[in-house]
């Protein structure tokens, strides 16, 4: 099985600013991979390196088995790309734009394009300058899916979209998910959790983790321990227990290597005088907040 996106020690520096720092990444074929992280984490810079819009300062990347620095022309007919700041010719209608793009893409599918236009409730004969932001994003997605690309790259596509438009956008994306690999950058964790199969967390240009969402959410739990009196933290705190917090009779922390059989035994061993133990599953947003806060506390 091929790897649609692969990076080895990829870095991009803008003078003194390191936007991407020694990044290693493999995106599985057929996955819906969400690259998440705060604004300024390096997500857009990474995507521009991958698509040969800018060159990396060091390291290498491959997209659909072509080195990123060589991507051009025919390679782009296999890649669909939608960015947050997508520019479209305002004087064109959507119908005109689709007709204009068709000759550039050997795999163009008129029937699929028309179905997506209908499903997304887009007007074909209205000038694009009269489209709302949400309509423009949906139109850009139609243009990027109509030629059935092998790889779909979306850079912060959900910003400023209302819930209905987001749902229509995602449904259009899922239309071809079985035929392509999807790579989407976002800081909207709740949104990507609804459709992504894999997730990578980028912070300050460095990849903090990259794995299947099911595996990630399966190994993180919030644990709350109640005592009869004031708790005392042990001197040898397990490394996988993140962000310990104490109050008058409670200790809370995040277990990053949860195991249904082992973790309760570890808690009982470390806190033999616990009165009650509560173990709660965590959302993707809660997991990344815990990772980010633990990382920053360690660096302080």
Tell me the pLDDT tens digit for each residue of 207-250.
989 999 999 999 999 999 999 888 878 888 888 999 888 888 99
Boundary residue ending a domain (164, 187, 216): 216
pLDDT averaged over every residue in the chain:
90
Is residue 292 assigned to a domain? no
- 89-109 average pLDDT score: 96
Helices marked H in 146-277: 163-174, 189-193, 213-219, 262-270
Is residue 150 assigned to a domain? yes
Give the pLDDT confidence score for residue 176 in this predicted structure. 67
How many Å apart are CA 195 and CA 31, to the nearest integer? 10
Tokens representing residue 189 in the block: 């964790």
Structural domain containing residue 246: 221-281
- The tally of domains found in the chain comes to 2
Strand order in the sheet with 58-63: 17-27, 5-14, 58-63, 66-67
**Ranges 124-133, 262-271, 285-294: which has the least confidence:** 285-294
> Which class for 103: exposed (0-12), middle (13-18), buried (19 or more C-beta within 10 A)?
exposed
Residues 205 and 269 both lie in one domain = no
- pLDDT greater than 70 at residue 10: yes
Give the pLDDT confidence score for residue 246 in this predicted structure. 86
Residues 259 and 114 both lie in one domain = no
Give the pLDDT confidence score for residue 190 in this predicted structure. 77
Residues 158 and 267 both lie in one domain = no
**Ranges 16-30, 88-102, 174-188, 195-209: which has the least confidence:** 174-188
Give the pLDDT confidence score for residue 160 in this predicted structure. 65
**Locus of tokens 């990829």:** 10
How many angstroms from the chain centroid is the CA of residue 12?
A: 19
Is residue 274 assigned to a domain? yes
Bridge partner residues of 13 (DSSP): 18
Tokens representing residue 185 in the block: 């950058």
Give the pLDDT confidence score for residue 300 in this predicted structure. 62
Cβ atoms of 63 and 79 within 8 Å: the answer is: yes
Tokens representing residue 230 in the block: 């004031």
Residues 159 and 238 both lie in one domain = no
DSSP structural state of residue 93: B
pLDDT tens per residue, range 21-71: 999 999 999 999 999 988 888 999 999 999 999 999 999 999 999 999 999
pLDDT tens per residue, range 155-187: 988 766 777 777 777 777 777 667 889 999 987
CB atoms within 10 A of CB 158: 19
Is residue 168 assigned to a domain? yes
Give the pLDDT confidence score for residue 90 in this predicted structure. 93
Helices marked H in 63-109: 94-101
CB atoms within 10 A of CB 15: 5
Residues 95 and 232 both lie in one domain = no
How many Å apart are CA 181 and CA 151, to the nearest integer? 5
Nearest partner of 168 among 118, 99, 112, 93, judged by Cα:
118
- pLDDT greater than 80 at residue 129: yes
C-alpha distances in Å from residue 83, one per residue of 44, 108, 169, 185, 220: 9, 21, 13, 10, 32
- 240-267 average pLDDT score: 91
Coil, helix or strand for 92? coil
186 φ, ψ to 5°? -165, 155
- 84-90 average pLDDT score: 86
- 125-145 average pLDDT score: 91
Is residue 290 assigned to a domain? no
β-pair type (250-255, 241-246)? antiparallel
Residues 109 and 232 both lie in one domain = no
What Rg value do the Cα atoms of the chain yield, rounded?
A: 23
Is residue 293 assigned to a domain? no
Q: Which helix (H) or strand (E) element contains residue 133?
A: helix 133-145
């Amino acid at each position: 099985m091929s790897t649609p996106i692969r990076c080895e020690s990829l870095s991009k520096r803008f003078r003194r600013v390191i936007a991407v720092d020694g990044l290693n990444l493999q995106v599985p074929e057929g996955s819906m991979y969400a690259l998440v992280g705060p604004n300024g984490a390096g997500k857009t810079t990474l995507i521009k390196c991958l698509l040969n819009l800018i060159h990396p300062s060091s390291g290498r990347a491959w997209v659909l088995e072509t080195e990123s620095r060589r991507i051009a022309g025919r390679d782009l007919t296999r890649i669909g790309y939608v960015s947050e700041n997508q520019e479209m010719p305002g004087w064109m209608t959507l119908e005109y734009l689709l007709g204009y793009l068709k000759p550039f893409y050997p795999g163009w599918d008129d029937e699929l394009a028309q179905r997506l236009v209908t499903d997304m409730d887009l007007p074909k004969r209205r000038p694009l300058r009269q489209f709302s932001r949400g309509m423009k994003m949906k139109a850009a997605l139609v243009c990027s899916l109509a030629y059935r690309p092998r790889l779909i790259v979306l850079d912060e596509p959900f910003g400023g979209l209302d819930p209905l438009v987001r749902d229509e956008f995602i449904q259009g994306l899922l239309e071809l998910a079985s035929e392509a690999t999807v790579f989407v950058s976002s800081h909207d964790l709740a949104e990507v959790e609804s459709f992504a199969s894999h997730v990578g967390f980028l912070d300050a240009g460095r990849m903090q983790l990259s794995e299947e969402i099911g595996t990630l959410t399966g190994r993180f739990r919030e644990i709350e321990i109640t005592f009869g009196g004031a708790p005392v933290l042990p001197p040898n705190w397990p490394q996988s227990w993140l962000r310990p917090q104490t109050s008058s009779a409670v200790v809370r922390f995040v277990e990053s290597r949860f195991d249904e059989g082992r973790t309760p035994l570890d808690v009982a061993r470390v806190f033999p005088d616990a009165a009650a133990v509560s173990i709660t599953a965590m959302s993707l947003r809660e997991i990344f907040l815990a990772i980010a806060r633990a990382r920053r506390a360690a660096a302080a």
